[in-house]
């Protein structure tokens, strides 16, 4: 029994259901374009917002009933939290979860204690995973909450802090590996700066590059087959975060020779905060070959911070789903709900309602995108738009057969007069909107 026991396992009941504790659209075994919904979505619940956050904000104390939390977490409290988390996960019926090292374990003040406490909770976790069939989408080390990380972890001005970060990541990467985690995430929350006046940007970037190379090396050394993911975010808590968006991460990975080994975990609201569309980040990551996974929490259109809300607008997500479908889905990634309740949502059942609504939203977006793909009109519109490139001129340019002068001479000699053609944007938008009815 736990705080989350007061509910029968959540089932698919279809659009006519009158229950708030049932899926209306998400039917895990339903095949969409040949693949079960569950495999398209690979949903995960995050440990930190759901079980490790009592609802405090910068103006006030915690509001949510989370009896296993306190200023210092003992092993008994960590275990109570674990029981509650797995009770929730198995009743909700998603396949995956995600965690930070310190979300799950008892509080530690030294590295020896850290390793011991993490190991102790890992063993419990392993048992609960075996008993429930729950899988780990990714693990990650928290290198931003403790005061030692005020100036960053790998990019700290103090090499001892770099070393602490290395120790935490080694322990968490190895734990993730033993738990069968499919990815390992690094979110560089404080890897950036608040003022350039006291910051050696070049040196910090070099340290960050070094750190990431060490992580990749270690991954190979221990035989971890999962994917190493960096999660871009433009700012908050820092004024400027080095991995501000997918393009910045790609440049960084290229610079330090890591583009083959590291991919991105894209968060919807981090894209918004960077002034970009979520679908842009997904498309860019796919184009650069570094697409990994998604944190599906959204922001609030009028707030300039990470409100971490559950998604509830399927139509907004369809463009990104079109890219995901074109990619054949995720490989090791999935949709992680890095989302939290509002502070007044003190009913333990609110956490179910939030996730059920979010998962149904993803299922709706998937079905709408699948309809768009099946209809083929949008694909045709796009193909026709680029048709010229399949002709002789386009092919000679694309293949590299012509140099700049060669192209210029052809254009001049042929007296090219390109004809305006419609981009059909309104039609493209309608082709998506008309399928958003699931």
User: Is 267 among the residues that bind Ni ion (CB under 5 A)?
Assistant: yes
Q: Which of 80, 83, 115, 306 binds Ni ion (CB under 5 A)?
A: 306
Active site residue 350: no
x/- mask, Ni ion, residues 324-363, rule CB under 5 A, reads --------------x-------------------------
**Mapping DSSP to helix (H, G, I), strand (E, B) and coil, where does residue 233 land?**
coil
Residue 307 CB, shortest distance to ligand XLS, in Å, is 10
Query: Could you say which of 103, 243, 338, 371 is catalytic?
Result: 103
x/- mask, ligand XLS, residues 296-335, rule CB under 6 A, reads ----------x-----------------------------
CA atoms within 13 A on the CB side of 121: 31
Residue 434 CB, shortest distance to Ni ion, in Å, is 32
User: Is 233 among the residues that bind ligand XLS (CB under 6 A)?
Assistant: yes
User: Is 187 among the residues that bind ligand XLS (CB under 6 A)?
Assistant: yes
User: Tokens in use for 165?
Assistant: 């970060």
DSSP 273-285: HTT--HHHHHHHH
CB crowding 148-186: b at 16 or more within 10 Å, else e: ebebbbbbbeeeebbebbbebbbbbbbbbbbeebbbbbb
**Are the C-beta atoms of 179 and 122 separated by less than 8 Å?**
yes
Cα(127)–Cα(44) distance, rounded to whole angstroms? 19
**Residue 90 vs 307, nearer CB to Ni ion:** 307
Query: Could you say which of 49, 100, 270, 355 is catalytic?
Result: 100
CB crowding 406-434: b at 16 or more within 10 Å, else e: eeeeeeeeeeeeeeeeeeeeeebeebbee
**Mapping DSSP to helix (H, G, I), strand (E, B) and coil, where does residue 267 land?**
strand
User: Is 115 among the residues that bind ligand XLS (CB under 6 A)?
Assistant: no
Cα(251)–Cα(258) distance, rounded to whole angstroms? 10
Q: How many residues bind ligand XLS (CB under 6 A)?
A: 11
Active site residue 101: no
User: Is 338 among the residues that bind ligand XLS (CB under 6 A)?
Assistant: yes
User: Is 295 among the residues that bind ligand XLS (CB under 6 A)?
Assistant: yes
Q: Which of residues 380-419 bind ligand XLS (CB under 6 A)?
A: none
Which among ligand XLS, Ni ion, none contacts residue 204 (Cβ within 5 to 8 A by kind)?
none
Q: Which of 174, 243, 295, 360 binds Ni ion (CB under 5 A)?
A: 295
How many other C-beta atoms lie within 10 A of the C-beta of residue 384?
11
**Residue 177 vs 233, nearer CB to ligand XLS:** 233
**Residue that the structure tokens 């390992």 belong to:** 184
**Residue 216 vs 271, nearer CB to ligand XLS:** 271
**Residue 239 vs 376, nearer CB to ligand XLS:** 239
**Residue 245 vs 295, nearer CB to Ni ion:** 295
**Residue 233 vs 355, nearer CB to ligand XLS:** 233
User: Is 140 among the residues that bind ligand XLS (CB under 6 A)?
Assistant: yes
What does DSSP assign to residue 193? E
**Mapping DSSP to helix (H, G, I), strand (E, B) and coil, where does residue 179 land?**
coil
Q: To 5 degrees, how large is the angle CA 256–CA 261–CA 262?
A: 80
User: Is 281 among the residues that bind Ni ion (CB under 5 A)?
Assistant: no
C-alpha distances (whole Å) from 330 to each of 126, 183, 327, 370 are 25, 12, 8, 15
Cα(258)–Cα(250) distance, rounded to whole angstroms? 9
**Residue that the structure tokens 């997904």 belong to:** 282
> What is the number of the residue whose Cβ is closest to ligand XLS?
187
**Residue 89 vs 185, nearer CB to ligand XLS:** 185
Binding site for Ni ion (CB under 5 A): 267, 295, 306, 338
Binding site for ligand XLS (CB under 6 A): 100, 140, 185, 187, 189, 231, 233, 267, 295, 306, 338
Catalytic residues: 100, 103
């Amino acid at each position: 029994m736990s705080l989350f026991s007061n509910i029968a396992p959540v089932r698919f009941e279809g659009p006519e259901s009158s229950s708030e504790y049932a899926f209306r659209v998400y039917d895990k075994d339903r095949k969409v374009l040949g693949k079960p919904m569950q495999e398209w979505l690979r949903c995960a619940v995050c440990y930190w917002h759901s079980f490790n956050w009592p609802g405090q904000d910068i103006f006030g104390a915690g509001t949510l009933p989370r009896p296993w939390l306190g200023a210092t977490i003992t092993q008994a409290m960590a275990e109570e939290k674990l029981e509650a988390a797995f009770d929730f996960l198995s009743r909700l019926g998603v396949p995956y979860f995600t965690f930070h090292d310190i979300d799950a374990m008892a509080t530690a003040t030294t590295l020896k204690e850290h390793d011991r406490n993490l190991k102790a909770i890992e063993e419990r976790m392993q048992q609960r995973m075996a008993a429930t069939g729950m899988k780990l989408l990714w693990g990650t080390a928290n290198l931003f909450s403790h005061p030692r990380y005020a100036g960053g972890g790998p990019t700290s001005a103090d090499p001892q802090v770099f070393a602490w970060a290395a120790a935490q990541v080694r322990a968490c990467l190895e734990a993730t590996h033993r738990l069968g985690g499919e990815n390992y995430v690094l979110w560089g929350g404080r890897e950036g700066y608040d003022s350039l006046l006291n910051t050696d940007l070049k040196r910090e970037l070099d340290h960050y590059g070094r750190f990431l190379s060490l992580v990749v090396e270690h991954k190979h050394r221990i035989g971890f087959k999962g994917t190493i993911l960096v999660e871009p975010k433009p700012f908050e808590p820092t004024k400027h975060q080095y991995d501000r968006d997918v393009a910045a991460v790609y440049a960084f990975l290229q610079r330090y020779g890591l583009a083959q080994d590291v991919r991105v975990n894209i968060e919807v609201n981090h894209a918004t905060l960077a002034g970009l569309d979520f679908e842009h980040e997904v498309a860019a990551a796919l184009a650069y070959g570094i697409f990994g996974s998604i944190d599906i929490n959204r922001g609030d259109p009028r707030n300039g911070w990470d409100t971490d809300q559950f998604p509830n607008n399927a139509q907004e997500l369809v463009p990104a789903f079109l890219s995901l479908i074109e990619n054949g889905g995720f490989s090791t990634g999935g949709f992680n709900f890095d989302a939290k309740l509002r502070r007044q949502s003190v009913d333990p059942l609110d956490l179910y309602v939030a996730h059920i609504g979010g998962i149904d939203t993803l299922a709706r977006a998937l079905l709408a995108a699948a309809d768009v793909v099946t209809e083929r009109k949008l694909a045709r519109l796009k193909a026709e738009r680029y048709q010229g490139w399949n002709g002789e001129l386009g092919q000679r340019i694309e293949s590299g057969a012509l140099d700049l002068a060669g192209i210029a001479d052809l254009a001049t000699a042929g007296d090219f007069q390109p004809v305006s053609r419609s981009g059909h944007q309104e039609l493209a938008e309608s082709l998506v909107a008309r399928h958003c009815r699931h």
